[in-house]
Amino acid sequence: MASSEPPGPRRVVTIFGSSRARPADAEYRDAIRLGRLLAERGWTVCNGGHDGTMEAAARGAKEAGGKTIGVTFNLYRPSNRNVWLDEEIVTESLFTRLEKLVTLGDAYVVLRGGIGTLLELCLVWNLVQSPEFARKPIFVVGSSWATILDVMRDQLPMHPWEVGSLTLVDSVDEAVDRLEAQAAGEQRTPKSKARSEAS
């Protein structure tokens, strides 16, 4: 069922990755595992709602009993909308779709992908430099991104804090572990601050 409104408050991870991945591919299997691990820890999985790793992550989340959101693009519907979505947000333009994917996420996981995934990574990477998005972590998975990021750091003008706003991880398991550790730390911070102020 399509929805034109964003969902209510919940813990959401937006996942970016390739639409070209197929079930026999390692990145498809990784995306299934990522979706399952996130769902098991109570996160809602959000992605572009079509095929490839989008389908795989949503499938993994649903098979684990989790919730999924797909932000689809009218140009691609309905031919490759995946069947694993609890909620579909249909957008009329690529720009609106990107805005929804970014604003819905409390965190981002970037899997191997093409130029569309690179666009999504660069968008969230730029946005987390702003106060509105500064507390939203980005986890970039795999050696292919490590190579690309090394070139970008070497060849482009970049501040140290820009480099530090990405977390490069080796696997989806590590991405979820790091996400959970960060979320747990943020939940403890207000309590610690309150105790300090009261003393």
Q: Where are the domains positioned within the chain?
A: 2-198
Distance of alpha carbon 125 from the chain centroid = 12
- pTM over 0.85, yes/no: yes
For helices 26-40 and 53-63, angle between their N-to-C axes, nearest 10 degrees: 40
Report, at the CATH architecture level, how domain 2-198 is classified.
3-Layer(aba) Sandwich (3.40)
CA distance 19 to 116: 9
Tell me the pLDDT of the chain (199 aa) as tens digits.
Answer: 444 344 445 899 999 999 999 999 999 999 999 999 999 999 999 999 999 999 999 999 999 999 999 999 887 656 678 999 999 999 999 999 999 999 999 999 999 999 999 999 999 999 999 999 999 999 999 999 999 999 999 999 998 889 889 999 999 999 999 999 999 887 665 443 433 333 3
